[in-house]
Structure 1
Amino acid sequence: MRILTCASSNATCAAKGQAVEANPDIAGIGVILGFLCTTCIAFFIAFAVLFLQRYDKIVTLCRRLFTNNRDEYEQNRDPYWRSAEFWSKVLSKNLLAFSDTQLLTGLAIQFTAMLKHCDLSIYHFQVVTELAFLTTVTHLLTLVALRDYFVKYRWINLPRVFFMLGNLALLGYTSFVAYSYDLAGLDLSASLACYYKGVRPSAKAAFGTRWAGLLIGAIGGHVTVILAMYIFSGEGSTNKKWWFRLGALFRTWFVAPVYATYGIIMAGISLRQTQVLGTPPVTINGDETRWGFGQFLPLLLLALPLFAGWESFWEEKDWHDPNRYSRSTRLRGESRSTVDVFKLAQSPNLNQQSPEDISLTDVHIHSNGPSPHGTPRTRSASRVALTSHPTRIPDPHLPVPSLPASPAMRPRSPSRFEERFSR
């Protein structure tokens, strides 16, 4: 039973060289540039992360190959923000943000094509396939470059992996249609409804097209990383076997670069045959290079990963600064109860000091704001000072003199709310 049919469509399937109506939502200038820019940026970030993660090993290898220095290289991490480890963490979060952005846009454009399959032309459906092809390049590079992160937090990343596989499954189907339309005797300008109304080619015949390379590269690369995440993720003997390490090297330095390069080049060649980047092979009624809200939005989405990278830079750079969020300035006007004595527990020298050697420590207790049921509450401030001078500990059996109560600290009558609550 066929799920996608276009029995009610009145498309002319025998004619060739028909005019195709413009569709900026799929082949608009902002959509195409947004997908291309995201994939190209993710391509360079992914290989930068792979290089930075292995910076010490690469320098050590170059030393031993081209010099007489056999010592293992260890980078100076002072200052930390100039180290390879710092930039690896910052760019990793940036790469993950780019991958998430394309995960949503890739699913959105493929769902749009599936819902409007009876109204689209084969030409525009092929553009959808090329754009979705670019998303799998970004996802595969992210999985390979951030493999340790995905393995360590595999259950946290399970929804992300699930949507990646869903996007890959949709691409497997849409690419089958887009790359085998000519086997059904259809023209590129024909309506996609003709494909669903006519005789569809077999999978064996379509496997000789670009569909085979996409399936082998994309599915193979994704599956190897996912298997390492959920099946071979233990610390047992698998991680120490030579064939496992050889497979990891093959995946990282052969499958991922070859598939990414192939995907960007082939998608770029196909997208050059659009109205945005070149001359389309069909006649298009309308202008797909006109800017509008739907064209600005994909490019503006590029700012989200850039914001994530900017935030990650300062978080990693100022990780040792407890006031980097300016909490002290916010607490001045808020209702709070703060006891700074808890900082004593974080002092590394606290356990090494005697009670007579404790440095000066202030304990502030502030209380401001209305009390329950609108009862006015007096603002009190108490300071406990522990001096570093040796003092005698008083005898607990001796009576402790009491200080005279100030007018502000005199007992007050309970409010109605407090009387009801005490009952």
Structure 2
Amino acid sequence: MFDTGNCSVVPSSTPTDAGVAGAGVLLSFIITNCLSLFLSAIIILLGLRKSTSAPIFRKLLLSFSDQQIITGIGIQSVGLAKMKTMVPYHFFIIWLLSLLSTATNLSTLIALVNDFKRDWVLRWLRQFLMFINLVLQIVSSIFVLQSVMKNLEPRLPIGCVWEVSSRGKASNAALSLVGTIAVIAGNVIVFSFSTWYLHNRQNPKWLKTVQVVGLVTLIAMGIGATVRVVLVSQAFGHPPESVRLVGTGEKDWSFGQLLPLLLLSLPLINTVEIIRGETKTPPSAVDDDTTPLFDGELGPQKPTEYQPNPMWGSRNNLVGK
């Protein structure tokens, strides 16, 4: 039996957890990431050529990104909430899925940055979600790093990393240690740059280069996380034998596994409604266009790409009233 409260007793096996490592859950993250990176690449390419604003692609990308970052925050919250019962194997899968969520969010940011700049509500909502995701990723990374450093028994809960003594170094400890530290440092650096990028009032010419380099980096990050999660998951690959998973629940399909995939159809349905004219949205402009996202949104002042937060940074701010 699996002991959920005693870190001194190593269970003989590990129960499956389809809620975080099931086939449907993994596919929903992977498919959303692939579609978002593809749409971001198209939008950035069209922006470089200045051929079209791609309003449908922009709307579809924003929908996929919103769905992915919310589910990414949710699954990380579940992992941390279940730290006293969840083994490192499942926690590591959640950590990989969080990387897919981050790649999706950042690719959307570099592709639609001017759309966010034109509306302060969208801009600060994106900033808030990025911050929550960063905090959760750092905390999760610390648990993963600690489990690697102590070579935690794979059938003990991840929360036991603070209670058990080290078992010595694993064979791949050095590589895992460097990779985990690099991810933590990279998350902090990328968040800092993304914050500046999101709130910067100017659009220097070299930002186009940043878009291309950033997209290539995020594609590599998405591919790496996808390959890793496919290889180690029971749903598609072979989990470590030391975990000793009981049953095949993560391979089995049920409504709970179909639901994340069914939800992927919502952005598509919304896009069809836009195309058919049942939902009216203002057209998006290309990245170097100075047209506001919404007509009259900036009031009588001269139109600009950057809409200040009315709480501060504006001559007619709410605080001044």
Higher relative contact order (CA 8 A, sep 6+): 2
Aligned length: 270
**Contact 1:179–1:206 under 8 Å retained in 2:** no
Alpha-carbon distance in 2 for matches of 1:10, 1:271: 31
After the TM superposition, list the runs of 4 or more consecutive aligned residues in structure 1 that deviate by more than 4 angstroms.
Answer: 205-208, 316-320
Q: CA deviation at 1:156?
A: 3.2
Which residue matches 1:185? 151
Is the 8 Å Cα contact of residues 87 and 157 (structure 2) preserved in structure 1? yes
Question: Does structure 1 retain, via aligned residues, the 8 Å contact 2:23–2:257?
Answer: yes
| Cα pair 1:140 1:222 within 8 Å, conserved | no
Q: 1:295 aligns with which of 246, 254, 257?
A: 257
Instruction: Quote how far apart the aligned CAs of 1:159 are.
Output: 1.9
SS at 1:308 equivalent: helix
Name the structure 2 match of 1:414: none
Aligned to 1:306: 268
Distance 1:109 1:252, change over 3 A: same
Q: Which amino acid aligns with 1:213?
A: A
Report 1:11-410 matches (<5 A).
Answer: 11-12=7-8, 18-56=12-50, 84-85=52-53, 88-198=54-164, 208-230=177-199, 232-233=200-201, 239=203, 244-246=204-206, 248-281=207-240, 282-287=243-248, 288-315=250-277
Number of the residue aligned with 2:314:
none
Distance 1:53 1:216 in 2: 30
Residue equivalent to 1:81: none
SS at match of 2:75: helix
**1:245 Cα deviation from its structure 2 partner:** 3.4
TM-score normalized by the length of structure 2: 0.75
* Alpha carbons 1:20, 1:284 under 8 Å: kept: yes
Aligned partner of residue 111 in structure 1, secondary structure:
helix
Aligned-residue identity in percent: 27
- After superposition, the C-alpha distances for 1:330-386 in whole angstroms (9 at most, x for unaligned) are xxxxxxxxxxxxxxxxxxxxxxxxxxxxxxxxxxxxxxxxxxxxxxxxxxxxxxxxx
Pair 1:27–1:96, CA change in 2 (3 A): same
Is the deviation greater in 113-122 or in 287-296? 287-296
In the TM superposition, residue 309 of structure 1 has moved relative to its aligned partner by 2.1
Q: Tell me which structure has the larger Cα radius of gyration.
A: 1
Following superposition, the deviation at residue 316 of structure 1 comes to 10
Quick one: distance in 1 between partners of 2:279 and 2:16? Answer: 48
Which ranges of structure 2 fall in alignment gaps of 5 or more residues?
167-173, 283-321
**Using a 3 Å threshold, how does the CA distance of structure 1 residues 193 and 219 change in structure 2: closer, same or farther?**
closer
Letter in 2 for 1:285: V
Are the equivalent residues in 2 in contact too, given 1:49–1:91 (CA < 8 A)? yes
- Rounded to whole Å, the distance in 2 between the matches of 1:158 and 1:51 is 26
* More helix by percentage: 2
